[in-house]
Amino acid sequence: MKIETIELRRVHMPLVRPFRTSFGTATERVVTVVRVITADAEGWAECAADARPLYSSEFLDASDLVIRDHLVPRLQAVGDRLSAELVASALEPVKGHRMSKAVLETAILDAQLKTTGASFGNHLGAVRDSVPAGVSVGIVNSVPELLDVVAGYLDEGYLRIKLKIEPGWDLAPVRAVRERFGPDLLLQVDANTAYTLVDARHLALLDPFDLLLMEQPMKEDDLLGHANLARLISTPICLDESIGSARDAATAITLGACSIINVKPARVGGYLEARRIHDVAAAHGVPVWCGGMLETGIGRAANVALAALPNFILPGDTSASNRYFAEDLTAPFELENGHLRVPTGPGIGVEVLSDVLDSVTARTDSIRF
């Protein structure tokens, strides 16, 4: 593949409602959209790093810098032999920065597949033409407000509800949602590392609510703590931030630190490593599901394709476009009987709306290859 230009666009996407987690509150999604231009195609991807280093050590300004000054030069050194399959090895000498590496690999893979006419889903091994959609519900000001929000999402057709929790906002909202919407609601919680093993007895009070899982209750580097917690509560532990690679997944499973894994392609360095995590988990009988990072339609298209692989058993955070944005960067993803359709076109399978992209672009940097 002969790359001619790599373009970085800083984009500001207003959210339809504030999204609060234990990290803080977001009112817009700031993202770097990457376009890889080759002689034959254009590939698109978005960097999932947040504006601030709260979810992980990566943040958007640093990501742009490392892409420009450290990652792209290593890809340039590969020359015309470059393919998506070679990106990870070419960038391996640069420590960390998985989200920055992921956005480059994804954009290159999109261009590569568009050249051959293959879709993301077919390339990754999708077995379904649509995937069940869940929705992540942020922390709100009161339990009555939460119940109204959840009711609205269920009316829209979402098949699973995930509640963000933190100390002081856990038992009451979970109890209220379970009591209001009954035992058949697929319900799970996400703590985003807000607790410690000292809180085990308190977290065990969530067991009677028959949750699908408790996501990342403790710090990302505390695998032994999660393994100990898993022995003290009956709610299944799911790891998110702790899993950065297939090797991490194998280690966590072996230690008993989790029985479910949330796969976020950006967090693990791209969709090819995400597929390897899927395969490792499947070999151990551990189900996975696809997490979300408030993606625009560009990232959502690729996530939906990944979520169609066979071991993605649980509904993911692959919500419809209108969950986050009044206007998306692609044609909107819409719920159909609680599912999102897997794109079938070449590459990520969606077209970027250039007029919308231009209207939300704050700056553009072009790197000649």
Tokens encoding 138: 């942020």
Q: What would the mean pLDDT of 57-86 be, rounded to a whole number?
A: 96
Which residue among 95, 101, 164, 219 is the active-site one?
164
Question: 24 pLDDT exceeds 90?
Answer: no
**Token pair of 240 as six digits:** 């998110």
Residue 36 has pLDDT above 90, yes or no: yes
Cα(367)–Cα(135) distance, rounded to whole angstroms? Answer: 37
> Is 164 a known active-site residue?
yes
Q: For residue 171, name the pLDDT band (cuts at 50, 70, 90).
A: very high
Secondary structure letter of residue 57 according to DSSP: S
DSSP 300-357: HHHHHHHTTSTTB-S-BS---GGGT-SS-SBSPP--BTTEEEPP-SSBT---B-HHHH
C-beta separation of 189 from 211 below 8 A: yes
Nearest to 218 by CA among 237, 193, 190: 193
pLDDT per residue over 192-245, tens digit each?
Answer: 999 999 999 999 999 999 999 999 999 999 999 999 999 999 999 999 999 999
Mean pLDDT over each residue of the chain, to the nearest integer: 97
Token digits for 234? 């009956």
C-alpha atoms less than 13 angstroms from C-alpha of 115 in its C-beta half-sphere: 19
Per-residue model confidence as pLDDT tens digits over 287-305: 999 999 999 999 999 999 9
Do 159 and 342 contact (CB within 8 A), yes or no? no
For helices 171-181 and 143-156, give the axis angle rounded to 10 degrees: 40
Q: How confident is the model at residue 4 (pLDDT cuts 50, 70, 90)?
A: very high
Task: State the pLDDT confidence band at 25, using cuts at 50, 70 and 90.
Answer: confident
φ, ψ dihedrals at 297, nearest 5°: -60, -25
pLDDT at 21: 87
49-58, 101-110, 264-273, 299-308: segment of lowest average pLDDT:
49-58
Residue range 132-148: mean pLDDT, rounded: 97
Report, as an integer, the average pLDDT of 317-329: 96
Q: Please measure the distance between the N-terminal and C-terminal CA atoms of the chain and give it in whole angstroms.
A: 12
Rounded to whole angstroms, the Cα distance separating 293 from 302 reads 12
Residue located via tokens 């590392």 = 193
Dihedral sign for Cα 24, 28, 32, 38, please: positive
Q: What is the mean pLDDT of residues 154-168?
A: 97
Choice among 101, 114, 162, 264 that is catalytic: 264
pLDDT score, position 159: 98
Long-range pairs of 175-181 with CB within 8 A, sequence gap ≥ 24: 175/209, 176/143, 176/146, 176/147, 177/146, 177/147, 177/150, 178/209, 178/210, 180/147, 180/150, 180/151, 181/150, 181/151, 181/154
Confidence of residue 177 (pLDDT cuts 50, 70, 90): very high
| pLDDT given for residue 22 in this prediction | 79
d(CA 176, CA 10): 40
The overall pTM is greater than 0.85: yes
Beta-carbon contacts of residue 338 (< 8 Å; ≥ 6 apart): 132, 133, 157, 158, 159
Query: Would you say residue 28 has pLDDT above 90?
Result: yes
pLDDT, position 20: 86
Q: What type of residue is 351?
A: E
* pLDDT exceeds 90 at position 166: yes
Ordered domains of the chain (ranges, CATH)? 3-117+351-368 (3.30.390.10), 122-341 (3.20.20.120)
358-to-27, 200, 329, 350, 352 alpha-carbon distances in Å: 20, 49, 10, 17, 11
Residue 1 predicted with pLDDT over 90: no
| pLDDT class of 154 with cuts at 50, 70, 90 | very high
SS3 sequence of 135-204: EEECCCCCHHHHHHHHHHHHHHCCCEEEEECECCECHHHHHHHHHHHCCCCEEEEECCCCCCHHHHHHHH
Per cent of the chain over pLDDT 70 is 100
Torsion of CA 357, 91, 245, 346, to 10 degrees: 40
Distance CA 30, CA 190 (A): 22
pLDDT exceeds 90 at position 169: yes
